[in-house]
Structure 1
């Protein structure tokens, strides 16, 4: 099953750089089965690692992460399956409500819901709750006030209903995310402690690219774990804004990668460096950028020096052959 575009954007874009752990659930409901998707699916992630999965086709929660397969408590799996079945019924109802509201009697419709919490090393927490419809952002929770706000004009009616005194859905979800979600996150951290607390150092490569007269400097950071990382460009010790959004992507081996790009005038490339902070590093990792022309000049200098050394060696060898070893010794001694 391939995740729709909005879901992928939520996965890679919501968590900023922070030190701690996170738990997120992503739900996808479709109006009719198709495109390789069941009518309802739910996936759980801890620190970006998929831990559990549920689909209407299977009808039960199954473990994905190896360390989750060690959880043998049948009551846990039964309770999680019950929770997903309740969520499935609610989501399928919401799809029908929205289709009626938008006069959509047929067609393939996406309803996507994301919620989650983060527990930071300093003890603070952060919670999320966002909904998308038909591949577009729809509404989101304001975690400070405990109310929903619309992300499109079409979401006004739903927002008013969910914020009404009768429902107060925002306050209920805020409370759930700040309490039960955090409690479950702590349990998952304990389950996967060995995996979640491992540290893998990042590899860093800097390069340049010239496109239509514009010079871009790329800092590619890859092969690191855990996911959270801070990557930035500096010029002579001063931070420089990046050109592209910073998205962290997973690798097949469980590590992560990120590329941070900035644009510079062609004549202003020198003096830039990429700086990486990560939990696996004792101090900031700094990689200086060297333009291709500078590299070429360096190799030319090295080549000239090597050519000179080879020439001197050849001359000495010829002298040695013609005059004997004694004269060579006199030569070196002046």
Structure 2
């Protein structure tokens, strides 16, 4: 989970922090998944960034964050009836751990080091109704995997030669490990409550425009936005049959912490049929279907120019007829030439 990085430049620390604060295990749109992650970052030297930073994220929503100024956890939103519990370890505990690993004394560290931790669980509901639950507690030190907790065996797994001493020490902390196991197992109940109370239904739109590279084709696009949680399944259909070669940039976040997804497909401009967008989401009691109304956003432009060109041609033809008729009339009157 933790990737090797260079810590000689502050830019790389910035990359590590951004990656760790926002990285999550992305869910598959064809299955329902939910997650609760506690993420921590601790630095030995913090010229630009806080010495300690932490955030709690559930299904892409930032629920709590640690305020370095107030030295306390702060709710990101104030409408949570039952926010997740604060983690068992305190800010001072994390700072003590990184100073121990870095061999720093009296907070004087000549080198830059970083300790990262992600603890939480992931809940996956399969199509057959079964539920898989994964709990984890993993640490990284200086950008490498360091140590992780196995809640089944109640033992720590050292993933780095430098972690052997830490493993021996933490394995003997039975009271802390028992509490950690209980803490991990309570995540499932919290996620179930969170999933049932924090839902938002999608707003679905279907639009069509000209294909930029083929006059015989149109591009039909389906946009679903404002939905929560993240997982969604969406398809464009012709006569209730899913079309092939659909493209999508994937699920994207909105500014209000909901999500959006856009899919597109090329269709035959002259083919007649019933096109619709079918969307499945946990906030809906049944799949939503939105039909294409047959209109094209920029096809009217072509029609307008055709009409204008037709009118111009008719006017030109009328002018030619008038001039020709006038010439014939003059010739008959004067037996001369039309000039």
Q: TM-score range by the shorter chain?
A: 0.5 to 0.7
Aligned to 1:182: 185
Q: Provide the secondary structure at the position in 1 that maps to 2:70.
A: coil
Cα 1:244–1:70 change in 2 (3 A) is closer
1:232–1:240 Cα contact (<8 Å) kept = no
CA root-mean-square deviation: 5.7
Aligned to 2:40: 27
Cα deviation 1:228-253 (Å, max 9, x = unaligned): 3233556773475775673442432x
Cα deviation 1:92-124 (Å, max 9, x = unaligned): 247737x9xxxx9645x5543222113466554
Q: Residues of 1 paired with 2:288 and 2:177: CA distance? A: 38
Cα 1:62–1:210 change in 2 (3 A) is same
Aligned to 1:126: 134
Q: Shift of the alpha carbon at 1:180?
A: 1.9
Give the TM-score normalised by structure 2: 0.54
5+ long unaligned stretches in structure 2: 1-13, 308-339
Q: Residues of 2 paired with 1:220 and 1:105: CA distance? A: 52
Q: Shift of the alpha carbon at 1:203?
A: 1.6
Counting matched residue pairs gives: 276
Cα deviation 1:6-65 (Å, max 9, x = unaligned): 135414x43445547532111122332244x31111112334333322244432223333
2:39–2:56 Cα contact (<8 Å) kept = yes
- For residue 84 of structure 1, the aligned residue among 63, 69, 90 is 90
1:143–1:174 Cα contact (<8 Å) kept = no
- For residue 39 of structure 1, the aligned residue among 23, 48, 51 is 51
Q: Residues of 1 paired with 2:71 and 2:144: CA distance? A: 28
2:138–2:149 Cα contact (<8 Å) kept = no
2:150–2:157 Cα contact (<8 Å) kept = no
Pairing of 1:148-187 with structure 2 (within 5 A) = 156-157=160-161, 161=164, 179-184=182-187, 186=189
Alignment of 1:6 with 2:9, yes or no, is no
2:37–2:121 Cα contact (<8 Å) kept = yes
Q: Provide the secondary structure at the position in 2 that maps to 1:231.
A: strand
Q: Residues of 1 paired with 2:225 and 2:20: CA distance? A: 23
Cα 1:220–1:201 change in 2 (3 A) is same
Cα 1:53–1:297 change in 2 (3 A) is closer
2:199–2:283 Cα contact (<8 Å) kept = yes
Q: Provide the secondary structure at the position in 2 that maps to 1:114.
A: strand
Q: Provide the secondary structure at the position in 1 that maps to 2:23.
A: helix
Aligned to 1:257: 259
Q: Residues of 2 paired with 1:216 and 1:112: CA distance? A: 45
Cα 1:55–1:251 change in 2 (3 A) is same
Alignment of 1:58 with 2:61, yes or no, is no
1:234–1:240 Cα contact (<8 Å) kept = no
Give the TM-score normalised by structure 1: 0.55
Q: Residues of 2 paired with 1:187 and 1:89: CA distance? A: 28
Q: Residues of 1 paired with 2:110 and 2:119: CA distance? A: 28
2:226–2:254 Cα contact (<8 Å) kept = no
Aligned to 1:230: 233
Cα 1:23–1:199 change in 2 (3 A) is closer
5+ long unaligned stretches in structure 1: 305-334
